[in-house]
Chains A and B, each alone.
Chain A
Amino acid sequence: MSKHYSVGFSISTDKIQRFSVFFERHAMFFLSVILSSVSLVAFMVYYFNGFGLAYNDARSHLDIGRRVVEGLKPGLAQLGSVWLPLTHVLMVPTVWSDFMWHTGLAGALQSMISYVATGLLIYLFLRELGASMIARLVGVAIFASNSNILYLQSTAMTELLLLATMTAGAYQLLLWYKSDNIVFLIKSSFWIMLSTLVRYDGWFLFGFAALLIFFYTIYQKGYWVAEGTVVLYGTLAGFGIGLWFLWNALIFKDPLYFIFGPYSAHAQQSQLEAAGVLATKGDWFLSLKFYVYALAYNSGAFTTVLGFIGAFVMWFNRRENIRVRIASAALIAPFLFNIIALYLGHSVLFIQGLSGDTWFNIRYGVMMMPSLAIFIGYLVDRVRPMRGLIIGLLFFVMFFSITSNDIVTIDDARVGSSQKNVTEVSSWLTRHAKDEKGFVLISAASHDAIIFSSGLPMKKFIHEGTGAYWKSATESPDRWARWIIMRTYSEDDSTWRFVSRSSGFERYNLVGTYPFADIYELKPEYMADLQTDAVLGKQK
């Protein structure tokens, strides 16, 4: 370069090194501060624009947590079945507060903490892979700036908690592979155990990691050591699964209730299959296609492509330690799980354009986000001449992602099958039932969103989980329920199923008909016999 007519300044190698060391030493702190700030800002944005509670499932999760601490029959049994319990258990310390309940913060808090934790784990994972500081920061940035991740971390959904626990499990597994220190395997087991209590994706990771551990150990140390290692791992990591079977056996008298019960995914999928909309069942290609689309819509098509290239580079890089390559295979567990689940019909995805005009469960595509971030960070590190170009192109796409407001999980929440605009029903309840005595008979399984949105205390509602109250109210609704909320003529609504067969139903007026439910109110002449206090006391 010509130095004619140029000005410049220099930075000494010594200063740069000192800065690098300082930054390296405090990187986790800086990242924690930055990620926490971003998390908080994102939560506030979605709280104030109302999207934080758009997901029907988010409202249900919050209600489940609330029912544990408040209601006609509070207690751990309210954790229910089908949905794994960890999310709701973690809400218990805060959800007793009406503010924490109704803002969604009781659930969002764990998502936000998980968001920060996952970002840090990505950094650590890449550090263990020997990636440079820039590559680590790129990996974290890819995850942290993803608009769907930012949205979901502001909600009371389970995805971020699952990502954090799974990534922690994969990270500790990597450390075990590298060091052969059993403590890391125990830690990995712990985190995977937690993931098995968040979502069933964790169960797949449990099995997948077991295979990785077994086949690696048998190759390195022989069968008996492999067997012992897998038993140790399986006992710890599978503890949560065992607990869940036990829970279902104790509470619902059937250890497989969560699989085959009336509110299980299996039941839901059976209905969908009967309606002819379970397109991916039995079709590998379609299952792969649907999930790749979900992946691309959540993570970005370009990010997905780069991620797969990064994975390819990592796994076929002969200069990379074989242990690292095997350990990092745990990162594709979510990808395999979702495709297998779609193929078996245990999961359903509606992709706009592929399966009609709506979205459903599109957020499942976000499960690979930490993995893709790690793969891309690795790619950026290993293909150094292209580093600037890759980062430039990623920023380019991110720019348009922001300007075009490309957040598919919000679309899913707002216009897909995951949304329920129950404002009319809940507003009616708030106006008419808030300051009046009397219970509301409602199916929580069908109308949790109404319960949440009404703003009324949980003890105002008689639902399936209230034991004797529910039994009594469904047999004699006119003695227990001043209002009944149900979908008339829908056999899927358990309230309708029981109440329509009760003679007491004749004593109600239909006072409102709305898209998701109808409202019935007890006729005034029967109010004298109505029970308005919680007289059944503590139930076992």
Chain B
Amino acid sequence: MGALGDALYANTGNINMKKEKIITIIFFVFVALVLILGIRGIVGNPTTETINNPIWTSDGPLELSPDRGRFSLMYSIAEDHSVKFSLPIARFTTPDLGISPKGEYVSLFAPGVSFAILPGYYVGKLFGVSQVGAFAVIALFALFNAGLIRAIAMRLGASIYAASFGALAFLFASPAFAYAVTLYQHHISTFLILSSMYVLLRWRGWWGISYIWFAIVLSLSVDYPNLFLMLPLGVWAFSRVVWFEKDSHGFQFQISLLNILTVVSVVLPLAFFLWYNAAANGSPLQLSGTLKRAEAIDEAGKPVQPQLARILGLAELDPNRKKTAIGFFHSRNLLNGFYTHFLSLDRGVVNFAPVMLLGFFGLYYVFKKSITAGKVLVGIIGFNILLYSMWGDPYGGWAFGSRYLIPSYAVLGIGIAMLLEYAKKQYIILLVCMALLSQSVWIGVLGAVTSNRNPPQIEILALEKISGHEEKYSFDRNEQYLASNHSKSFVFNTIGYRYMNAPTYRALIAGLVIAMCALLLGGLLFDKQKEKQYE
């Protein structure tokens, strides 16, 4: 059936191919449908004159500076054909606005996301929904990620039901959903990681290894820390270039000359990376994140310091301070980072996506199937957690849940699939899994249909000083938003609001996902029953 067929179908031996095909189609259609229901946006094509209007920014889909930063660069390229920002676009981008060595306003983010969403922007523009089109590209990557998780899990021995369940858990029972419907780098980064993982599992040849190097270098343009997340995959791929075998005489070290040539695949993404840095930042090796930052712009177009940053003392004390790529990571932040990502009320996995923790147990079964795959997956999680625990801002700025752990959620989704597959006779585990999933989906969908504008707990006091009232910082802030009948979903804001209120809309989506997961669980059990019947 070829690669696509293998990606789509499980070879369980117990379910016939036609049924598998139907389940797969239903899976992808369902995921696409739910993503569409969640995509944020409003009708219209923003222009330089209108883009700073709150309907696009704080009240709209481009509510936070990471969204705006990436949208700005895309818009500049699409409309102004430049990687440097005009003044309205620069103002729109603050507070995460970069200043190039020549004093021009540029993006502070890696450019990959902005270039990737260009096609969606153009297509959307034709229909008068350019912003939605741009966001839809990210949703598409999220869809691919769900498919890849499913495919990888099936490759590792999970049934089609367990694998599909794991994929849904990743996408809808974690903050991944909230970032699948807006403009962040996480799903593209995760796609590169998962696709590389799948390629390494599926193929051993020249093209596969070439893809890994290509993906690693390309991932730099999506988000600079991806280099570390892709490291385990790079090591695995490297083991196919240089390897050793043990026999009765000793150790044989081999180097594949053909596979060495695969390094040629880095040329294109590297050229893009270096070109962009040179064009925007003034030097091929000057990373965007290391540029000087302008948090606000005054009437005259000059950089100034905004109020919240002044109160918190978060603004750069020395704007001329030299920043380095690795200078953002401090090992002393690890303890606070661990706590933030896992336990904190404002970001912790325990609060936002407790079902994901079951994935850790499932990884044990990955090792049973393939030690190498297990090591790589655990390595990805390890590098992800450690890196972003050392990061100076583990909270992810204003965010919904721990967004930096989205690649880990993907791996844990595979773990959940494996746990269900191997523990399908343990009803208590299935029950616990379903209960945790339901709670996690309820929260995950909440984030997707509302907003990601949750401040970290450490900023609350300062925020309350400005606003003059109590400020929430966990998903209860989203509940508050939803309760006032607000949603940032494009579908809700164009059609849905006529038929139901925002809480009902959320309940509908969450209900659909939970029902689908329950069906998959039922399928898993029924499949087991059928096995018994044939025994």
Name A residues whose Cβ lies closer than 8 Å to a Cβ of B.
1-16, 293, 296-297, 300-302, 305, 353, 385-386, 388-389, 392-393, 396-397, 400-401, 403-404, 406, 408
Chain B: minimal CB distance from A386 (Å): 7
Q: Does B386 contact A (CB under 8 A)?
A: yes
- A302 and B250 contacting across the interface, CB-CB below 8 Å: no
- B250 and A14 contacting across the interface, CB-CB below 8 Å: yes
One of B325-333, B350-358, B490-498 at the interface: B325-333
Chain B residues within 8 Å of A385, by CB = 367, 371, 374-375
Chain B: minimal CB distance from A133 (Å): 16
- A16 and B250 contacting across the interface, CB-CB below 8 Å: yes
B208-236, CB < 8 A from A: 228, 231-232, 235
B123-151, CB < 8 A from A: none
**Which of B257, B335, B378 is close to A297, meaning CB atoms less than 8 Å apart?**
B335
Given contacts A1-B243, A403-B326, contact A397 B250 (CB under 8 A): no
Given contacts A10-B252, A400-B326, A406-B332, contact A302 B375 (CB under 8 A): no
Given contacts A7-B254, A386-B378, contact A297 B228 (CB under 8 A): no
Main secondary structure of the interface of B (DSSP, over half): helix
Chain A residues within 8 Å of B231, by CB = 392
- B251 and A296 contacting across the interface, CB-CB below 8 Å: no
CA distance A16 to B244 in the complex (A): 14
Chain A: minimal CB distance from B212 (Å): 16
> Which of B254, B257, B367, B383 lies at the interface centre, i.e. has the most chain A CB atoms within 10 A of its CB?
B254
- B257 and A301 contacting across the interface, CB-CB below 8 Å: no
CA distance A401 to B333 in the complex (A): 10
B232-283, CB < 8 A from A: 232, 235, 240, 243, 245, 248-258
**Which of A2, A297, A305, A408 is close to B256, meaning CB atoms less than 8 Å apart?**
A2
- A10 and B257 contacting across the interface, CB-CB below 8 Å: no
**Which of A15, A301, A392, A393 is close to B335, meaning CB atoms less than 8 Å apart?**
A301
Chain B residues within 8 Å of A404, by CB = 327, 329-332, 390
**Which of A1, A10, A396, A408 is close to B386, meaning CB atoms less than 8 Å apart?**
A396
B174-204, CB < 8 A from A: 204
Q: Does B379 contact A (CB under 8 A)?
A: yes
Nearest A residue to B326 via CB reads A403
CA distance A401 to B330 in the complex (A): 7
Nearest A residue to B239 via CB reads A1
Chain B: minimal CB distance from A412 (Å): 13
A sample of 5 more A-B contacts (CB under 8 A), given A13-B251, A408-B332, is: A13-B250, A15-B250, A301-B335, A385-B375, A397-B331
Nearest B residue to A398 via CB reads B331
Chain B residues within 8 Å of A293, by CB = 335
Chain B: minimal CB distance from A50 (Å): 22
Chain A residues within 8 Å of B335, by CB = 293, 296-297, 301
- A8 and B255 contacting across the interface, CB-CB below 8 Å: yes
Q: Does B449 contact A (CB under 8 A)?
A: no
Chain B residues within 8 Å of A8, by CB = 252-255
Chain A: minimal CB distance from B224 (Å): 14
CA distance A243 to B248 in the complex (A): 62
CA distance A8 to B242 in the complex (A): 9
Chain A residues within 8 Å of B390, by CB = 397, 400, 404
- B253 and A11 contacting across the interface, CB-CB below 8 Å: yes
Q: Does B398 contact A (CB under 8 A)?
A: no
CA distance A42 to B240 in the complex (A): 40
**Which of B250, B256, B332 is close to A10, meaning CB atoms less than 8 Å apart?**
B250
Given contacts A393-B386, A396-B383, contact A12 B331 (CB under 8 A): no
Residue pairs across A and B with Cβ atoms less than 8 A apart, 16 shown, are A1-B254, A6-B257, A7-B254, A8-B253, A10-B253, A12-B250, A14-B250, A16-B250, A301-B338, A386-B375, A389-B375, A392-B235, A403-B329, A404-B329, A404-B330, A406-B330
Q: Does B382 contact A (CB under 8 A)?
A: yes
Chain A: minimal CB distance from B325 (Å): 10
- B334 and A1 contacting across the interface, CB-CB below 8 Å: no
CA distance A302 to B337 in the complex (A): 11
Chain A residues within 8 Å of B257, by CB = 5-7
Chain A: minimal CB distance from B173 (Å): 26
CA distance A385 to B374 in the complex (A): 9
Chain B: minimal CB distance from A436 (Å): 45
Chain B: minimal CB distance from A374 (Å): 21
Chain A residues within 8 Å of B331, by CB = 300-301, 397, 400-401, 404, 406
CA distance A403 to B254 in the complex (A): 35
Chain A residues within 8 Å of B336, by CB = 353
Chain A: minimal CB distance from B316 (Å): 18
- A10 and B249 contacting across the interface, CB-CB below 8 Å: yes
**Which of B245, B334, B375, B378 is close to A397, meaning CB atoms less than 8 Å apart?**
B334
Given contacts A16-B250, A297-B335, contact A5 B258 (CB under 8 A): yes
CA distance A385 to B377 in the complex (A): 13
> Which of A3, A6, A408 lies at the interface centre, i.e. has the most chain B CB atoms within 10 A of its CB?
A6
- B375 and A396 contacting across the interface, CB-CB below 8 Å: no
- B327 and A403 contacting across the interface, CB-CB below 8 Å: yes
Nearest A residue to B256 via CB reads A6
CA distance A13 to B248 in the complex (A): 8
Chain B residues within 8 Å of A4, by CB = 256, 258
CA distance A408 to B335 in the complex (A): 14
Chain B residues within 8 Å of A389, by CB = 232, 375, 378-379, 382
Nearest B residue to A407 via CB reads B332
| Complex interface bits, B337-370 against A, C-beta within 8 A gives 1, otherwise 0 | 0100000000000000000000000000001000
CA distance A406 to B390 in the complex (A): 11
CA distance A15 to B232 in the complex (A): 31
Given contacts A301-B335, A302-B334, A404-B329, contact A11 B251 (CB under 8 A): yes
Chain A residues within 8 Å of B249, by CB = 10, 12-13
Chain B: minimal CB distance from A74 (Å): 44
CA distance A386 to B367 in the complex (A): 10
- A16 and B251 contacting across the interface, CB-CB below 8 Å: yes
Chain B residues within 8 Å of A301, by CB = 331, 334-335, 338, 389
CA distance A400 to B240 in the complex (A): 29
Chain B residues within 8 Å of A9, by CB = 252-253
- B251 and A397 contacting across the interface, CB-CB below 8 Å: no
Chain A residues within 8 Å of B329, by CB = 400, 403-404
> Which of B204, B256, B378 lies at the interface centre, i.e. has the most chain A CB atoms within 10 A of its CB?
B256
Nearest A residue to B204 via CB reads A2
Chain A residues within 8 Å of B383, by CB = 393, 396
Chain A residues within 8 Å of B254, by CB = 1, 3, 6-8
Chain B: minimal CB distance from A253 (Å): 47
Chain A: minimal CB distance from B359 (Å): 17
**Which of B243, B256, B334 is close to A5, meaning CB atoms less than 8 Å apart?**
B256
Nearest B residue to A295 via CB reads B335
CA distance A396 to B389 in the complex (A): 13
Chain A residues within 8 Å of B375, by CB = 385-386, 388-389
**Which of B232, B326, B330, B386 is close to A302, meaning CB atoms less than 8 Å apart?**
B386
Nearest B residue to A408 via CB reads B332
Nearest B residue to A2 via CB reads B256
- B228 and A396 contacting across the interface, CB-CB below 8 Å: yes
**Which of B243, B250, B330, B338 is close to A400, meaning CB atoms less than 8 Å apart?**
B330
Nearest B residue to A305 via CB reads B338
Nearest B residue to A12 via CB reads B250
> Which of A10, A15, A301 lies at the interface centre, i.e. has the most chain B CB atoms within 10 A of its CB?
A301
Nearest A residue to B241 via CB reads A6
Nearest B residue to A16 via CB reads B250
Given contacts A4-B258, A386-B375, contact A300 B327 (CB under 8 A): no
Chain A: minimal CB distance from B411 (Å): 13
